[in-house]
Amino acid sequence: GGPVPFHGPHQAGIATPVQDRLHFAALDLGTDSPAKVAGLLREWTAAAVRMTAAQEVGGGATGPELAPPDDTGEALGLPASRLTLTVGFGPSFFEKLKLPAPDRLKELPRFPADKLDPARSGGDVCVQACADDPQVAVHAVRNLVRLAFGTASVRWSQLGFGKTSSTTPDAQTPRNLFGFKDGTRNIAGTDEAALDAHVWVGEEGPEWLRGGSYLVARRIRMHIETWDRTSLKEQEDIFGRTKREGAPYGAAREHDPVPLEKLPADSHVRLSHPDALGGVTILRRGYSFTDGSDGLGRLEAGLFFLAYQRDPEKGFIPIQRALAARDPLNEYIQHVGSGIWACPGGVTPGSFWGEGLF
């Protein structure tokens, strides 16, 4: 794939058609100086402009022999691969820097059955790198982290493959690790009205956040081996959709409207459907992950769930409340990591990520 424009009214990587691979990193600041952080964001933006255009960072991967090169080099010769880099600031970012946090940026409430590992949760700043080539996504995060040396360091990171949500309704819907089509009903990246209503922050937000969005990430472990011993009927009942076609119960085709009353009362789709929750909607952009096995012979695998929304109280929070209480899927999954960040609006040429904050 070619380059995705970095500049624009919104950050790329949200409404952008979902790429195949993810490298997501959460970093903690090692400074409480807004000036220092603004300097880093300026350097990051310059590097991101270059990397998303398949160019080397700074002076490039070679240079004076006695200094380490500006660019680490492993993406040399590779195409842009539709690389997007998207950043967000967590509640702790504003506390550390003593800057006013946006009203809607609050730590997420605790949900029943959460088993969150602090070492895989939170982070002052997040960077989402998506690309069709994992080497390009990993190179991008690595080089941003390198530029942050002395100002911020990685708290945790996650690699993802196999997008689990599509924002392009015409394309074939991808499948998650339970083998079901995922992202059938999602906000399309081309649906401007839905994006304005449910994804982009508007006048209600501080200026720097307008055209931006709130990102919720959840690392959800999936108990693959238990699932694989479950009957097809039970699997389908859990979602309220068929496995092969992805059709909702009571309808024939994947994209048919969902006749909610035909789905089991406690089924994942019935519980999370906007009609069951007063219109609540999110843009899902998650990826599958498999980090080898867990030492007990089980796959350390799951869904790295990413959701963008204009207001977490009208997005992730009410949906997850409904799911945490009743979703039959809970027997097969566990939320083990979590984070929330406010992602600033788009960057114009010459400016930098979050400039309006400083």
The residue ranges that bind ligand HEM (CB under 6 A) are: 176, 178, 180-186, 218, 220, 222, 239, 241, 258, 268-269, 272-274, 282, 303, 305, 316, 319-320, 323, 333
Report H helices in the chain: 34-51, 91-97, 134-147, 192-198, 224-227, 232-239, 268-272, 316-326
d(CA 191, CA 169): 10
Q: Which is nearer to ligand HEM, 50 or 241 (CB)?
A: 241
Name the strand (E) or helix (H) holding 163.
strand 152-163
Tokens found for residue 247: 């059709």
The pair of structure tokens assigned to 334 is: 């566990």
Task: Specify the residue, 88 or 315, whose C-beta has the smaller distance to ligand HEM.
Answer: 315
C-alpha 170/C-alpha 116 separation (Å) is 36
Per the listing, tokens 């992602």 go with 343
Question: Do 81 and 70 meet the contact criterion of CB atoms below 8 Å apart?
Answer: no
Bridge partners (DSSP) listed for residue 27: 125, 154
- Shortest Cβ 316–ligand HEM spacing (Å): 5
Q: Which is nearer to ligand HEM, 71 or 236 (CB)?
A: 236
Paired strand residues for 216 = 307, 340
Alpha-carbon torsion (107, 115, 174, 243), positive or negative: negative
> Shortest distance, CB of residue 35 to ligand HEM, whole angstroms?
38
What is the nearest approach in angstroms of ligand HEM to the Cβ of residue 319?
4
Contact 339, 123 (CB under 8 A): yes
Which is closer to ligand HEM, CB of 105 or CB of 217? 217
Distance CA 77, CA 264 (A): 52
- Report which of 205, 169, 193 is spatially closest to residue 312, judged by C-alpha positions: 205
For 88, the token pair is 């967000």
Looking at beta carbons only, is 1 or 169 nearer to ligand HEM? 169
Distance, in Å, from the CA atom of 332 to the CA atom of 315, rounded to the nearest integer, reads 23
Q: Which is nearer to ligand HEM, 143 or 288 (CB)?
A: 288
Taking the C-alpha atoms of residue 306 and residue 326, their distance in angstroms, rounded to an integer, is 21
Q: How far is the CB of 273 from ligand HEM (least distance, A)?
A: 4
Shortest distance (Å) from residue 269 CB to ligand HEM: 5
Query: Nearer to ligand HEM by C-beta: 19 or 167?
Result: 167
- State which residue, 16 or 338, has the beta carbon closest to ligand HEM: 338
CB of 175 to ligand HEM, least distance (A): 8
Q: How far is the CB of 240 from ligand HEM (least distance, A)?
A: 8
Residue 257 CB, nearest distance to ligand HEM (Å)? 10
| 130: three-class secondary structure by DSSP | strand
